[in-house]
Amino acid sequence: MKKTALITGASSGFGAACARTLAEKGWQLVLTARRAERLAALQRELSAQTPVHTLALDVRDAEAVAASFASLPPEFAEVDLLVNNAGLALGLEPAHEASLEDWDTMVDTNVKGVMYCTRAILPGMVARNRGHVVNIGSVAGSWPYPGGNVYGATKAFVQQFSRNLRADLLGTAVRVTNIEPGMAETEFSKVRFKGDDEMAGRVYTGTEALQPADIADIVAWVASVPARVNVNSVEVMSVHQAWGPLAVDRS
């Protein structure tokens, strides 16, 4: 019997790459995202390899998340792997100039979306005494940078939420992993800069960033280790990225 993976934000980037990699590994898939047409295309691509069920869903909508997950078809209802991937960054303005609307959107997606999806899926995992929650965090949750303000704070939440889930789940066989990528070449920067392709392109000019498949390989690996093993966290960067020195104002 195939195991079931539910992936949020599956229409592009890390999410779509996870879908492709897990399909190759023999998982059946529940794919969610807001862009239904992209989900449909991915379903057509992968359905020859594995069963795929799609849900056009906004993870910010708690009621829709609960209702959609509670009404999964029986063959997809027992989720073995939840990949909380849906997330975004908006803007790089300093905190005193940033948009409150952008802040709200990041909190609603990166924090509340992870909460809603986890809360909907976790009781079933605990009842079956098996399952794995993989959260896609960011190095920004540990390492600040100018303009990262609320985005970094939301990913710090993901880090602490992952750790506290492990504390809550001690005594069960349910696992939790937080994966923290550095710079990766996805639609992330295009979303951050609200469709400005030129600005987004400059983020990756002259360097080699992580690729979505790199993160998908890590997700597949942490899900494949023996059941007695919990990989708590994975921080991963391109070899072309590292930490900068502490900032000092000398004006």
Structure tokens at 24: 């190759």
Structure tokens at 212: 């979505």
d(CA 126, CA 26): 23
CA within 13 Å, CB half, 60: 10
Backbone angles phi, psi at 6, to 5 degrees: -110, 125
Structure tokens at 134: 């993989």
Instruction: Name the residues annotated as catalytic.
Output: 151
Backbone angles phi, psi at 175, to 5 degrees: -105, 155
Structure tokens at 180: 């923290």
CB 48 within 8 A of CB 79: no
Using the structure block, give the residue that is written with the tokens 């959260």.
Answer: 135
Lay out the sheet containing 131-136: strands in order across.
Answer: 52-56, 28-33, 4-7, 81-84, 131-136, 174-181, 233-236
CB 83 within 8 A of CB 134: yes
d(CA 89, CA 108): 12
